Amino acid sequence: MALSVDDVRRIAYLARIEITPGEAAEVQRKLERIFELINEMRAVDTSGIVPMSHAQEVSLPLREDRVTEADRHELFQSVAPAVHDGLYLVPKVIE
């Protein structure tokens, strides 16, 4: 599988990372090296093998359905770039 510069642009858009036209070729070259390494794994016979998503085969615990956290929005929002009246400010998305 060859990774094109267009592929790099597409995944960079999906990842919400701006890549300048000047950077794209260099990123493409390095990603291609990484995928050469990764592709070695694709030849392994894994028919019938159940995927392993965690290092420990334990079921996730359930807890009682009750409030356990206090409202600390002022503390948590104190590190935000822009807030107003308890709301995070972002550029307008609806005209």
Site for another protein, residues 70 to 89, rule: CB under 8 A: 72, 75-82, 88
- Other beta carbons within 10 angstroms of residue 8's beta carbon come to 21
Looking at 2, 55, 67, 70, which residue binds another protein (CB under 8 A)?
55
Number of residues that bind another protein (CB under 8 A): 52
Site for another protein, residues 12 to 31, rule: CB under 8 A: 12-19, 27, 30-31
Q: Which stretches of the chain bind another protein, using CB under 8 A?
A: 3, 7-8, 11-19, 27, 30-31, 33-42, 44, 46, 49-56, 58, 60-61, 63, 72, 75-82, 88, 90-91, 93
